[in-house]
């Protein structure tokens, strides 16, 4: 098994699928310029030409409508947005047209469309380049919402998304692009809608999304030194949601924290808390805790930005409180280390 990065896994998935199926094409702002969406679309233009890999103007809504037209006429577009914030300019097409098109046709037409979109912090992105909003899209019937964390999941879930006959919002955290992991060279799919236990434990469950899995693993390592074993569920897909994996773990550990990469209020963590309250109420020893962004626009100043984003330290403190632990000395730990690796382009 090879060790490759999350970014390389995305690139390999698209190239292998485009070699297999000539109805697949890739487009968006930056897919063929020198940056190539953080290098995730490298070599695609050279290999498949301008007909299957091309730039678009600053016209997100109409370019998304173009994807719908292509999808319902037998093609499989992959539309890429380098920031989630830009995707919001296409909400009319996504929410009013794409999500419900198949329903409106009584299932006679499918919409095999993947929208790849990048999220994540770095260099002080501020309030205009920092949104996640996966809960917003999961709220819309007809859309699938996927947030892979590991390189292996990035490849397997992207292939599954490309082959899916429904529209899929595929969300990638920028800091994950540098994560390395074992990835099979052959083509494989990971089913959309299945969570994964990335660390087994007996004392408390953390359900995490995207980058927060990395922070949760960091926190679990610290806590294990103090005799606390955390179970971590990478939920991988929030629509459809693997409720059973959450319920079984919550019943086992009797404590649950949701570590989300989004605003808390009316977000994904609220949905998980409601599900667990309904189905595990008698098993819990404490109310469900939710960790996520503060309910303000993201600040640009570094010291305020660090308070906006939760991290492993936040998780450790919440676990201490939930389990009634003594305060752990974190003075020798390093947090937010991946920020130093970010080199642009923005």
Query: What are residue 256's DSSP bridge partners?
Result: 205
Query: What are residue 2's DSSP bridge partners?
Result: 183
Tokens of 300: 């640009």
Rounded to 10 degrees, the C-alpha dihedral 20/23/26/27 comes to: 170
In this prediction, residue 255 carries a pLDDT of 98
Query: What are residue 118's DSSP bridge partners?
Result: 172
Give pLDDT tens digits along the chain (346 positions): 899 999 999 999 999 999 999 999 999 999 988 889 888 999 999 999 999 999 999 989 999 999 999 999 999 999 999 999 999 999 999 999 999 999 999 999 999 999 999 999 877 788 888 899 999 999 999 999 999 999 999 999 999 999 999 999 999 999 999 899 999 999 999 999 999 999 999 999 999 999 999 999 999 999 999 999 999 999 999 999 999 999 999 999 999 999 999 999 999 999 999 999 999 999 999 999 999 998 999 998 888 888 899 999 999 999 999 999 999 999 988 887 666 666 555 4
In this prediction, residue 343 carries a pLDDT of 59
What is the C-alpha to C-alpha distance for residues 287 and 310, in angstroms, rounded to an integer? 20
Handedness of CA 164, 143, 277, 233 (dihedral sign): positive
In this prediction, residue 126 carries a pLDDT of 84
Single pTM value for the model: 0.95
In this prediction, residue 124 carries a pLDDT of 76
Is residue 129 annotated as a catalytic residue, yes or no?
yes
The catalytic position among 34, 79, 81, 129 is 129
- Residue 40 and residue 188 in contact, taking contact as beta carbons nearer than 8 Å: no
Residue 235 exposed, middle or buried by CB count within 10 Å (0-12, 13-18, 19+): buried
In this prediction, residue 338 carries a pLDDT of 67
């Amino acid at each position: 098994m090879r060790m490759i990065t999350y970014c390389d896994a995305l690139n390999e998935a698209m190239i292998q699928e485009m070699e297999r199926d000539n109805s697949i094409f890739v487009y968006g702002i930056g897919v063929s310029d020198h940056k190539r969406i953080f290098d995730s679309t490298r070599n695609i233009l050279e290999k498949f030409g301008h007909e299957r890999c091309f730039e678009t103007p600053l016209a997100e809504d109409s370019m998304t409508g173009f994807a719908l037209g292509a999808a319902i006429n037998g093609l499989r577009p992959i539309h890429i947005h380098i920031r989630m914030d830009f995707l919001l300019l296409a909400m009319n097409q996504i929410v009013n047209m794409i999500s419900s098109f198949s329903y409106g046709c009584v299932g006679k037409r499918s919409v095999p469309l993947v929208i790849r979109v990048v999220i994540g912090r770095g260099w002080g992105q501020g309030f205009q380049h920092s949104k996640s909003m996966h809960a917003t899209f999961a709220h819309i019937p007809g859309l699938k919402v996927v947030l892979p964390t590991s390189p292996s999941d990035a490849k397997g879930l992207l292939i599954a998304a490309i082959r899916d006959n429904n529209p899929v919002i595929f969300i990638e955290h920028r800091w994950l692009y540098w994560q390395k992991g074992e990835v099979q060279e052959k083509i494989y799919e990971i089913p959309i809608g299945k969570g994964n236990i990335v660390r087994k434990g007996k004392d408390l469950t953390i359900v995490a999304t995207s980058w927060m899995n990395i922070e949760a693993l960091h926190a679990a390592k610290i806590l294990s030194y103090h005799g606390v074993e955390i179970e971590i569920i990478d939920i991988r897909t929030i629509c459809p949601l693997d409720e059973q994996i959450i319920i079984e773990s919550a019943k086992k550990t009797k404590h649950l924290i949701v570590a989300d990469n989004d605003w808390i209020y009316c977000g994904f963590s609220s949905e998980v808390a409601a599900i667990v309250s309904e189905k595990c109420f008698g098993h819990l020893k404490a109310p469900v805790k939710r960790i996520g962004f503060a309910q303000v626009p993201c600040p640009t100043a570094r010291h305020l930005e660090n308070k906006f984003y939760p991290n492993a330290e936040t998780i450790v403190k919440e676990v201490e409180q939930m389990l009634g632990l003594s305060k752990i000395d974190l003075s020798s730990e390093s947090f937010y280390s991946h920020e130093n690796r970010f080199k642009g382009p923005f």
